[in-house]
Amino acid sequence: MISAGITAVFSIAWFFLKSGDRQLDYLLDPWLLLDVWLILVMAVFTFRKCRVASPALVVDFIASKITLRIDFGAPKGVIVSIIFLAFYVSAVRGSYL
């Protein structure tokens, strides 16, 4: 839910902010609302211990980090990314136990 909230803030901010920075414009995209919806749906199913949704969250998270890495090069926020990945992997473990 925290990941969906952060993504929602950036995607909704697009309606109010315009920036000349390429990286910030990439994150201020209204299409990220689709990602928010996807994260929320998978989070609900993960809460219900669905064995498909929690690995899908991990794959979605890793794919988004790979996309950011390809688009911008050097990663930023590696520590926070590792913490979120640990939470997602813990959700996978919890859904299978």
- pLDDT tens-digit series, residues 24-80: 666 667 778 888 899 899 989 988 888 899 999 999 999 988 888 887 777 778 898
Using CA atoms, how far apart are residues 33 and 53, in angstroms rounded to an integer? 18
Query: In the block, which residue shows the tokens 């991990």?
Result: 58
Does the pLDDT at position 86 exceed 70?
yes
10 band by pLDDT with thresholds 50, 70 and 90: confident
Using CA atoms, how far apart are residues 42 and 57, in angstroms rounded to an integer? 7
- The residue extents of the domains of the chain are 2-96
Nearest to 65 by CA among 85, 86, 47, 39: 85
pTM of the model: 0.76
